[in-house]
Structure 1
Amino acid sequence: MFVSDLRKEFYDVIKGKRVLVLVHFDVDGICASKILQSLFRTDHILYTVVPVQKRKDLVNVYENHAEQIKHIILINCGGCIDVVDLLQPADDIIFFIADNHRPLDICNIYSGEQVRILSKLGDDEQVPAFSDVFREDESDEEEEESDEEGGKRPRFDESVLEKRMERRRWEQQRHKIVFDYTQFSYYGNSTAVLMFDLAWKLSKDSNELLWWAITGATDMLMCEKTEQDKYLLMTASLQNHVSRLNHKTQDDQPLDCLRITFEKELQLALYRHCSLVESMRHSLYPATSLRLWTLKGEKRLCELLAEMGLPLSQCKQKYSGMDMTLRNELQSLLEAKVEKYGLGNLLFASFTLTHGFRSKYSAMDYVYAASALLESTDKEKTSADAFLDVADSLSMNKLSVLEKGIEAAKQQLEAVYRQVQTFLDMNQIISAGPFLYATVIEGTPDARFFSAPQCLSLLARFTLRAHVSISRSKKSRSLPLVITTPDVRSSETNTCLVCGIPPVSEESPRNFFGKAFEQAAEKTASKSELEFFDTNVMRLSVDDRSKFFDALISLLS
């Protein structure tokens, strides 16, 4: 069931209770949990936060805590699976689900009091009617079937036969309706923004909580989990809160206060923390638009900088060391040249954060840093350690952790760029018919970065756009991409990660690979693990990879 009033039907219900919060391994989910934890501390609500990455983690954590806790909050996990069927909870346990994954499971939507969904449905989300997927006479049919199995003589009169035929027709129709509803995976609105909305209604909002909501919304955009139109609507709402909480002038505020500003931002990765040339090379949009992995692309970049009046020596040193005048004019100079160089979408609406005399950070900086920390390549760190590092990086008093995340993000972006260049130079992006296919070769030093879902998805997006930018075939724009990489982080040997993304021509980020992977794995009896909440990523045995892809080609042809 859906919760219409977050304050009355959710927050007031858990007040005074002990709560278990299960958080998915993504930046939006962690930002949402930070906002929720802030509210809990204010109202002295006892809580336990546990990160979960897969379905089996959800089951294990539930089994460990079910006896002590009766109220469980699932953030960005659990919405797309029947949690009651998966966890088999006692009747007095209540699940509150705030999940941006779509489509939501029908059983969760039509559950009674036990499953309560906090996130709202979008206007374009069509949920099947209750009567189309559930029948009131199901129990009667089951009893009749059990009677026949028990040896009782069945009554073959016309009414029974008619009922059975009618039921078969209904089941066929139900199967079609459910398949149409679940065939594409996509995302709803940011959960962090939803939690900030709750904080605002409780009159407990602040600039810090607002920044976490902004970071969550920016993560949705950067990971291409939301359309541009939806992002603009979110930013319009967040901009109102920015104006409300930052209405005082700088002269009226303490020097060390937190200040958020809404402004145009460049789609350049971490450009305030490295050189302009490095940032443009490692940013998906300018790198693929200018084809910076080629000599011609390098020359074109030098032409752009020359026309802007930026000396190459200035552009190759760290941004903070650039001439102050050039730094202040950088955005306007780039804006004047974007049309000529095909960089029309280089600027977008975003937010920046300043804290006293310290450096200015953009929401993109926070997302890059948090994502890199979350999928750290440090073998000594557990997933729980990485989760805590991300939570610390979002805290305003632990900027040293954020800086570590920024340095880790630079390494991650460099690894992605190198791998994309290798794919293109070695012609390793192959057309398999209904989709494009690329493989990170076993033994590649950078494979340690890609054996994590979010970095692998970034590599896939960068690879597909780079291929489309140089391909002479118009068909390449309408082809999706499947990419595989050795799973060097897994305890199991001889496994790989598989990730599928929709084609460049698709404006909506709806992804059919989750269902396709499931059917191909089932058809070939491949040794696979479809446990991730982002269903377009799966783990597969290398031995089964060949037959799995044959089945996938057959399925999508």
Structure 2
Amino acid sequence: MYILPSNYNQAYNHIVTTSLTHSTCKLVIFVSCLDVDALCALRILAAVFKKKLINFQIVPIVGYADLATHYTRLDADVNNIILVGCGAMVDLESFLDIDVGQFVDATRSLEAETVLKRKIFVIDGHRPWNLDNVFGSAMVTCFDDGLIGDLALEKDAYNFLVNIDDDELNQEEEEEEEEEEEEEIFEIDETDISRKRKSSSSSPQTKQPKTRKRVIKDNETTIENYYGQGTTVVTSVTSQVYSLVSLIGETNNLDNLWLAIIGSTSLEHQYPELWARLADLFRKEVRRLNHGADEERTADDSRLTVEKDYNLFLLRHWSLYNAFYYSNYINSKILLYTEQGKSKLNKIFAKMGISLSVAQQLWIYMDIGIKKKLHNIFTKVLVNQYGFDSLATEGYFRSFGYNGSVSARDCVEAISSLLEHEENSAPSESDDIDALTAEKEKLWVANFWRSWDALTDLAKIRQGIQLALFSQQLIFQVGHSIIEKKQLKNLKIFRLVVLSSSDYHLSLTAKNDASIHTNTAAGGRKFFLNPLNLMKLGNWLLDTISEVDDTLLPLVLAALDLETDTYLVIGMAPKVPKRGDGGSAALLNTFSVAFQHVANTTGVKVRIDSFESSVIEVRKDDLAPFLEKLTLSGLV
């Protein structure tokens, strides 16, 4: 079943009522542990439940297999389960092997309505919905994003197919087969009559109604088309949770709003249209809650502000030159991986009247007079002369008293980097693939808790920013290398990059900034074996490609894990540049369908476990046949 946004508070009231206990924990929250949006949403929920004195358990999970394992370990007394950032795209009752009858509350169930002792609530922006969750389950409740009402055709098809009488269908199929046999004999033995019959059947007036078998086929096609359209993210789970706390009167809280902004901002680059829709709502909320915005800063100041910001990577945390050089936006516009591009960047600074020596100073030491003039300089030179229309943008900032302020975009980069980097990890001594996978997932869960703490700790955010500075340099270095060495292959229906080693020069020396040291990459030995990092590299390549090639080919990246002898493979939809505002629009990702098809129809060994269904693992020896079958499938 599903619940409308205007009724989110009803689900909340049910959870509170049935989870309030002083003995055992009756509420368990499963959260995707590699998702900034899900992390922020959970932080809001946790604060609300703590305020209500509800005991709950948080379980970070890395994939569906992990979810199934932890679900089987749940105590029978658990009444409520919330899935944050996962669960929308699989039939949960079937996948988790749930016997719904086991949870019928005999003391409360009526003749007309069955009441269950356990409920599963899904807050997830991944689409398409699994229709069994939305229309066919009494146990699963999906938080509607306002779009389930658009699935009327799919709902009718689903209900029709669910209510088919198998015996009736089999009988009708037998009757149709008999009719076909009789007609065939009739045409052979009675030629003249057969000719009249054909003539009559071709007349519009005698058009026969669809057989039940044909109706079934049409409804099956409707469902297949729905699932086959590809995957995307249609909403931020933090925005859904913020809608929930709005309904229960918990919005006069800057912490909740700040977390909602960070979570939603994490989707900005991949899903710009989604962010544009949410940004307007957050702007109004900031103005509503931001009393005393013009007052002087105090030690406990925590105000939120909407200010001018720029598509320059972590501008306030290193030099102006580095912020330009390592910006995806600037890189794609002037092709910085070429010598001409690097020369053009120097000319841009000359036209702005900013010397390279000044541009290469750390931002905090840069002349305050130049900082104040930057917006006018950018408008005059970069927008008017170079067409960088979306360089200047709007940003959300949080004050931390006398310690300064930080932008939501900077927080996203910091938290993402904390999720991505293995902290002080040593090479594994095991050669068992399952053990190595479990060890990797354990590190990701540890990173989740590190990121959880950083959300409210400015010092930890700054640590994450240092990691982000290193990460971006490495991504640019590898991206430039891929293009220079012609590792980007244009195949028939997609582009391909295969990284033969997951090490990729981790002795990187930070350019132009002595304050960034390589020791920030303590666990960087498997940098591109984290799907978040591989996707960032993919985004860099897609941004670059979209500016020089109008061919809308998707991208496949594969990174070799030397320990397990497997490839981490991701499929990414192409991006369409929007020349007017400089943004890019993400298309539906059909790799989820294609990956499943290849795995189900070939002998290729594929592990599909990520909540991002276009992220898989393939054995090293199976990569070539997998890519061949993917090309032949025609589903990309």
What TM-score do the two structures reach when normalised by structure 2? 0.79
Summarize the Cα distance change of 1:252–1:279 in structure 2 as closer, same or farther, 3 Å threshold. closer
Task: Identify the residue that residue 529 of structure 1 maps to in structure 2.
Answer: 607
Q: Write the letter of the residue equivalent to 2:51.
A: T
Q: CA deviation at 1:175?
A: 3.3
Summarize the Cα distance change of 1:69–1:157 in structure 2 as closer, same or farther, 3 Å threshold. closer
Superposition map of 1:185-204 within 5 A: 185-204=231-250
Match of 1:65, SS state, is coil
Cα distance in 2 for partners of 1:73, 1:27 equals 17
The answer to whether the 8 Å contact 2:90/2:130 transfers is: yes
Task: Identify the residue that residue 218 of structure 1 maps to in structure 2.
Answer: 265
Task: Identify the residue that residue 353 of structure 1 maps to in structure 2.
Answer: 398
Cα distance in 1 for partners of 2:130, 2:373 equals 50
Task: Identify the residue that residue 243 of structure 1 maps to in structure 2.
Answer: 287
Superposition map of 1:78-477 within 5 A: 78-89=87-98, 90=100, 91=103, 92-122=117-147, 126=151, 128-135=153-160, 138=163, 140-141=165-166, 158=175, 166=211, 168-183=213-228, 184-205=230-251, 206-222=253-269, 224=270, 226-228=271-273, 230-251=274-295, 254-339=298-383, 340-378=385-423, 379=425, 382-395=443-456, 398-442=457-501, 444-445=503-504, 448-469=526-547, 471=548, 474=549, 476-477=550-551
Task: Identify the residue that residue 50 of structure 2 maps to in structure 1.
Answer: 41
Summarize the Cα distance change of 1:522–1:32 in structure 2 as closer, same or farther, 3 Å threshold. same
The answer to whether the 8 Å contact 1:460/1:483 transfers is: yes
TM-superposition CA deviations, 1:377-414 (whole Å, max 9, x none): 3326722210111111111xx21211111111111111
Greater alpha carbon shift after TM alignment, 205-214 vs 123-132: 123-132
Match of 2:292, SS state, is coil
Task: Identify the residue that residue 109 of structure 2 maps to in structure 1.
Answer: none
Q: CA deviation at 1:238?
A: 0.8
Q: CA deviation at 1:330?
A: 2.0
Greater alpha carbon shift after TM alignment, 73-82 vs 13-22: 13-22
Task: Identify the residue that residue 496 of structure 1 maps to in structure 2.
Answer: 567
Cα distance in 2 for partners of 1:299, 1:156 equals 72
Cα distance in 2 for partners of 1:298, 1:249 equals 41
Task: Identify the residue that residue 12 of structure 2 maps to in structure 1.
Answer: 11
TM-superposition CA deviations, 1:445-495 (whole Å, max 9, x none): 3572111112111111211332444x5xx5x5311111111135xxx6110
Cα distance in 2 for partners of 1:354, 1:346 equals 24
Match of 2:309, SS state, is strand
Summarize the Cα distance change of 1:252–1:326 in structure 2 as closer, same or farther, 3 Å threshold. closer
Q: 1:482 aligns with which of 545, 548, 556?
A: 556
Structure 2, unaligned stretches of length 5 or more? Answer: 20-25, 104-116, 180-209, 427-441, 507-524, 578-584
Cα distance in 1 for partners of 2:380, 2:500 equals 42
Summarize the Cα distance change of 1:531–1:410 in structure 2 as closer, same or farther, 3 Å threshold. same
Match of 1:352, SS state, is strand
The answer to whether the 8 Å contact 1:82/1:105 transfers is: yes
Q: Write the letter of the residue equivalent to 1:504.
A: K
Cα distance in 1 for partners of 2:575, 2:172 equals 58
Summarize the Cα distance change of 1:34–1:155 in structure 2 as closer, same or farther, 3 Å threshold. closer
Match of 1:172, SS state, is helix
Q: CA deviation at 1:8?
A: 3.9
Q: Write the letter of the residue equivalent to 2:455.
A: L
Cα distance in 2 for partners of 1:264, 1:155 equals 68
Cα distance in 2 for partners of 1:312, 1:124 equals 56
Summarize the Cα distance change of 1:335–1:123 in structure 2 as closer, same or farther, 3 Å threshold. farther
Structure 1, unaligned stretches of length 5 or more? Answer: 146-153
Summarize the Cα distance change of 1:517–1:360 in structure 2 as closer, same or farther, 3 Å threshold. same
Q: CA deviation at 1:2?
A: 1.7
Q: CA deviation at 1:166?
A: 4.4
Greater alpha carbon shift after TM alignment, 321-330 vs 338-347: 338-347
Q: 2:35 aligns with which of 26, 31, 52?
A: 26
Greater alpha carbon shift after TM alignment, 351-360 vs 123-132: 123-132
The answer to whether the 8 Å contact 2:9/2:247 transfers is: no
Q: CA deviation at 1:354?
A: 1.4
Identity of counterpart residues, as a percentage? 25
Greater alpha carbon shift after TM alignment, 319-328 vs 77-86: 319-328
Summarize the Cα distance change of 1:39–1:443 in structure 2 as closer, same or farther, 3 Å threshold. closer
The answer to whether the 8 Å contact 1:192/1:213 transfers is: yes
Q: CA deviation at 1:436?
A: 1.0
Q: Write the letter of the residue equivalent to 1:260.
A: L
Cα distance in 2 for partners of 1:11, 1:502 equals 36
The answer to whether the 8 Å contact 1:430/1:436 transfers is: yes
Summarize the Cα distance change of 1:316–1:81 in structure 2 as closer, same or farther, 3 Å threshold. same
Cα distance in 1 for partners of 2:541, 2:598 equals 24
TM-superposition CA deviations, 1:259-305 (whole Å, max 9, x none): 11112311111111111121222221111111112221111111111
TM-superposition CA deviations, 1:228-254 (whole Å, max 9, x none): 3x3222111111110111122443775
The answer to whether the 8 Å contact 2:569/2:617 transfers is: yes
Q: CA deviation at 1:212?
A: 0.4
Q: CA deviation at 1:20?
A: 0.7
Match of 1:477, SS state, is coil
Greater alpha carbon shift after TM alignment, 493-502 vs 59-68: 59-68
Q: CA deviation at 1:331?
A: 2.8
Cα distance in 2 for partners of 1:155, 1:252 equals 80
Q: CA deviation at 1:316?
A: 0.9
Cα distance in 1 for partners of 2:267, 2:400 equals 24
Summarize the Cα distance change of 1:140–1:172 in structure 2 as closer, same or farther, 3 Å threshold. closer
Match of 2:87, SS state, is coil
Greater alpha carbon shift after TM alignment, 283-292 vs 197-206: 197-206
Summarize the Cα distance change of 1:441–1:521 in structure 2 as closer, same or farther, 3 Å threshold. same
What TM-score do the two structures reach when normalised by structure 1? 0.90
Cα distance in 1 for partners of 2:382, 2:144 equals 38
Match of 2:576, SS state, is coil
Superposition map of 1:30-69 within 5 A: 30-69=39-78
Q: CA deviation at 1:505?
A: 2.6
TM-superposition CA deviations, 1:503-547 (whole Å, max 9, x none): 223734311111111112223221111111111211111111111
Cα distance in 2 for partners of 1:101, 1:247 equals 36
The answer to whether the 8 Å contact 1:246/1:259 transfers is: yes
Greater alpha carbon shift after TM alignment, 73-82 vs 517-526: 517-526
The answer to whether the 8 Å contact 2:320/2:359 transfers is: yes
The answer to whether the 8 Å contact 2:30/2:60 transfers is: yes
Task: Identify the residue that residue 621 of structure 2 maps to in structure 1.
Answer: 543
Across the two proteins, how many residue pairs are aligned to each other? Answer: 535
Q: Write the letter of the residue equivalent to 1:221.
A: E
Q: CA deviation at 1:144?
A: 8.7
Cα distance in 1 for partners of 2:70, 2:173 equals 50
Cα distance in 1 for partners of 2:605, 2:93 equals 26
Match of 1:175, SS state, is helix
Q: Write the letter of the residue equivalent to 1:421.
A: H
Summarize the Cα distance change of 1:168–1:196 in structure 2 as closer, same or farther, 3 Å threshold. same
Q: Write the letter of the residue equivalent to 1:482.
A: V
Cα distance in 1 for partners of 2:398, 2:73 equals 40
